[in-house]
Amino acid sequence: MQNNHAGWNFDNSYSRLPGIFYKNQLPTPVREPKLIIYNVSLAATLGLDANALKSKDGAAVMAGNQIPEGAEPLAQAYAGHQFGHFTMLGDGRAVLLGEQLTPQGERVDIQYKGSGRTPYSRGGDGRAGIGPMLREYIISEAMHGLGIPTTRSLAVVETGEEIIRETMLPGAVLTRVAASHLRVGTFQYAANWGKEEDLRALADYAVERHYPEVKASDNRYLSLLKELINRQAGLIAKWLHVGFIHGVMNTDNMTISGETIDYGPCAFIDTYDPATVFSSIDRDGRYAFGNQPYIGGWNLTRFAESILPLLHDDEDEAVKLAEGALSEYSDVFQAHWLAGMRAKLGMMNEEAEDKTLIADLLNMMQKHRADYTNTFRALTFDQLEEIDLFKTEEFTQWHEKWQARLGRQEGAKDAAHELMRKSNPAVIPRNHRVEEALEAAVEKGDYSVMEKLLKVLSDPYAHSEEQSEFCTPPAPSKLPYRTYCGT
């Protein structure tokens, strides 16, 4: 146990839930912890002393070798539909250290990933490789920079030990920060293996922690469902706005808070194509880029099924209430998506034909294999000579309609341009740039490539000179890019 001079301020409300939801579990100490990357700005937001955590003791804490005072480490139980198949799960290689109460009055989970075996490990070693942990650090911090709700990464520690996967890999522990780790799968677990009072305790906890405004409603559990539908619809719309593919949208990877979680086989599209799949394990395209809104609705239906006993004493009435709420998902998603796409095109008001105008542009982009990010960036700065698509007759006709549309709205042209600047990133964590940074770090111990990438990704809407070299798509390749579920 370590004293809290580093600024730790733990409470552990999750451990006050019924015991079915977790097992007390200390992380397994590692041989030689070495802090290799550390999020100083996030530490400050959390109220932590950056210098104290950079020390040898700090590395020991981030590896799980020392436990800060006030923490009560545990492994969480949950279930999930993985590629449509339901199974019992749980934190197989993660430990929730506790909940940090920040100077801003927020409550956030501090979790180790790769911290050793737990009762839910199902035969695994509970460890993680350095490459996947650094990858999660890069992508989660990039998502934060893009303004998308996400878990964040506080640190990665090298363990001084090797793990066995396809080959021997250097081991690492990631410290993850989240609004909470409550998942749709947590509710599925309660519905399948708990009593109704366990399910109710979990739902009340979720309301108190994430949606306290619904406590006074006539049916707080129906209100919880509606709030989650809205938040998840908004999140998935934001993914599509920047070309993000989660890659493994299992129900255990959908949070109740509405944050993006689990950066395993995720990636960003270069060429626009809704059928794009990067994940090596998604052989049927279940979680393809364009399928994500539908999977969101499917996952929310599983959540609704889990809380049916709380919605109404009569099962038929409960089903009707759930179906009524779920029937709104498609419209809610469309509203979020359209609002974001309008912003990407500088539209500050709404017109009936906007959806067609947006769809026509996306169809042209797909047909001409245009780069998603760079197309919108070029439109933002009126750089019509940069993209091959812009040289076509059909684009010229579309551009005239778009300009006429912008001309009909009230407000200066500068305001529309500024809206586009704030809505179209200059940079995303392009797959070849991420791989380049990981290769330098893992193979050569050179973190400068990753640090430079992180710097340009921290403010993707800056459109600065130093970002320009990171805007280039990868060179053409005969082999499709593949991601792996290493995290």
Residues 13 and 181: their CA atoms lie apart, in Å, by 12
Report DSSP state, residue 472. Answer: P
Give 309: exposed, middle or buried? Use CB within 10 Å, 0-12, 13-18, 19+: middle
What element of type H or E holds 331?
helix 329-344
Tell me phi and psi for residue 102, to 5 degrees: -85, 165
Give me the catalytic one of 91, 198, 252, 262. 252
- Is 113 in a helix, a strand, or coil? strand
Longest dimension (CA), the chain: 69
Strand (E) or helix (H) holding 38: strand 34-38
Please tell me the chain's helix, strand, coil percentages from 3-state DSSP, rounded to the nearest 5: 45, 15, 35
First-to-last C-alpha distance (Å) of the chain: 28
Which residues are paired to 37 by β-bridges?
156
CA distance to 199, 238, 346, 444, 458, per residue, from 377 (Å): 47, 17, 12, 34, 17
The candidate with the shortest Cα–Cα distance to 170, out of 202, 232, 128, is 128
Give yes or no for a contact between 98 and 13, defined as CB atoms under 8 angstroms apart: no
Which structure tokens are listed for 335? 């509203």
Q: How far apart (Å, rounded) are the C-alpha atoms in residues 215 and 450? A: 44
Burial of 393 (0-12, 13-18, 19+ CB in 10 A): exposed
Q: Which amino acid is at 159?
A: T
Q: Is 252 a catalytic residue?
A: yes
What is the rounded (10 degree) CA torsion for 467, 289, 259, 450?
Answer: -30
Active site positions, annotated: 252
